Amino acid sequence: MQNDVIVETHKLTKIYRDFWGRQKKTALRALNIEIRQGEVFGLLGPNGSGKTTTVKLLLGLLYPTDGEAFVFGKPAADVGKNERIGYLPEESYLYRFLDAEETLDFYGRLFNLPPAQRRTKAQELIEKVGLKADRKRPLREYSKGMRQRIGLAQALINDPDLIILDEPTSGLDPLGARWMKDLIRDLRTLGKTVIMCSHRLEDVQDVCDRIAILNEGELQAYGEVQTLLQDHRRIELRASDLQLSDDLRRDLEELLRKHGGKLDTIGHPTTTLEDYFLRIVEESKAHPGRRFLPGKEPLPRVETVQRVEGRG
């Protein structure tokens, strides 16, 4: 195992069996992956593809039928490895009768943190996840987004080196999802390793350095996001301060023909709906009371770079 590899699986296999030992379902088959320190690693796949099973095997919630999984060089079933792990399950399964402070205090105790450190850390995390005003409310009164935030706070209570997030943006509104993704990027900046398990592809594309795609328990693709997604047959060219005109099109077609290529499309690029939505919300906060009246006002415009696509 290389020095910077902190998660490693060898032929990791999980077969679910019934009471009598009969095989029910192969959830994961001979998975071999390595996750390095400081990267955001995405586990992708449709429902039932084996990504959550992989996470549960890494956490010791399930035991492998065959093969092995190592986290920080220790077998996945070793409790000691959990000292350096933070885990956010898909649903934030926390005790709903506790409030945010009690929740973080409870999980802090499980890490044997001394009382003063628990208090400081809890306040710091509550502020970080934006629940300061709601810290005394029991979790049963929290919205899904708030539960996800407190869930993330409990996953970070021990300042972990490896954070495992199972569907971290599920159930979050676009603002929440953006916040979560920014936080994941911050964690990467701090040198933490993040394993993210999701079927929201745009989120994975946004934040992950490397991914593994699973289907029917088998590894289908594995590598850097940029490398996997790059379309080597096409070239993208972006330009600004230009007016879209027939002359421009003709000149570009000429130029591309000269280099043996051909122009596919030319036009104004679109931004993502997420960016547009966030901008609208930000502007609305900046101008309280303003509202859009159809036919009276022009639509808010998108400002982005113009894009020309060519094919070689």
Partner 1 sequence: MFAVLTFDRDPALYQNVPAQLFAWIQGAGGWAAFGVLVWLLAGYTRMRAEDRARIAPWHKRIFVASVAVSFLAYLIAGGAWLAQFLPKVKPELAFLAYAYGITIGGAGALVAAGLSFVFGLTALRFRRIWALAKLSFKEAIRNRVLYGFSAMLLVLLFGSWFIPYKPEYQVRSYVGVVYWMMKILLLVTAIILAAFSIPTDIRRQTIHTIVTKPVERFEIVLGRFFGFTALMTLVLLLMTSVSVVYVLRGVDPEAAAESLKAREPFYGALHFENTGDKSKGTNVGREWDYRSYITAAAPNQEPQYAVWDFPEVPRSLASRDSVRCEFAFDIYRTTKGFENRGVSCKFEFQTAHFNEHDKDSYNADRSRWMSKGNLFSKKDIDEWLAGYRTRLAPQALAPLELNERLDNKRLRLMANPLEGDPPQYRLSDAAIENELAEEYGYYVVPAKDITDYHTMYIDVPAGLFRNALQAPSGNTGRPPLQARVSVTQQSATQYVGMAKYDLYWRLDDPKGGHEIAAFTLNFYKGAVGLWLRLCLVIGLAVALSTYLSGVISMLVAGMLYLGGGVIDYIQSIAFGTAPGGGPMEALFRLANRQVALVPLEESAAATLATSTDVVFRWFIRRVLDLIPDVDRYDLTSYVGEGFNIPWTQLWIDCGALSLYLLPWFVAAYYLLKWREIAGPT
- When binding is defined by CB under 8 A, the residue of 28, 40, 49, 56 that contacts partner 1 is 56
Residue numbers 1-30 binding partner 1 by CB under 8 A:
16, 24-25, 27
Cβ proximity to partner 1, 147 vs 178, nearer residue: 147
Contact between 153 and partner 1 by CB under 8 A: the answer reads: no
- Reading the block at residue 52, the tokens are 């959550």
Does 75 contact partner 1 by CB under 8 A? yes
Which helix (H) or strand (E) element contains residue 197? strand 193-198
- Give strand pairing partners of 165: 88, 196
Does 116 engage in binding with partner 1 (CB under 8 A)? no
Q: How far is CA 275 from CA 33, 74, 146, 204, 303, in A?
A: 33, 42, 22, 16, 11
Residue 257 found at the interface with partner 1 (CB under 8 A) = no
The residue whose two tokens read 């230009």 is 242
Instruction: Identify which range of 96-104, 185-193, 223-231, 298-306 contacts partner 1 by CB under 8 A.
Output: 96-104
Rounded Cα gap, residues 52 and 46, in angstroms: 11
* Least distance in angstroms from the C-beta of 95 to partner 1: 6
Is residue 241 left, alpha or beta, with left meaning phi > 0 and alpha meaning psi from -120 to 50? left
Look-up: residue for tokens 């850390």? 121
91 binds partner 1 (CB under 8 A): yes
Distance CA 256, CA 263 (A): 7
Q: How far is the CB of 299 from partner 1 (least distance, A)?
A: 44
DSSP letter (8 states) at residue 302:
P
Q: Is there binding between residue 107 and partner 1 (CB under 8 A)?
A: yes
For partner 1, the binding residues (CB under 8 A) are 16, 24-25, 27, 52-53, 56, 59-63, 66, 68, 75, 79-80, 82-83, 85, 87, 89, 91, 93-95, 97-98, 102, 106-107, 109-112, 138, 151, 154, 158
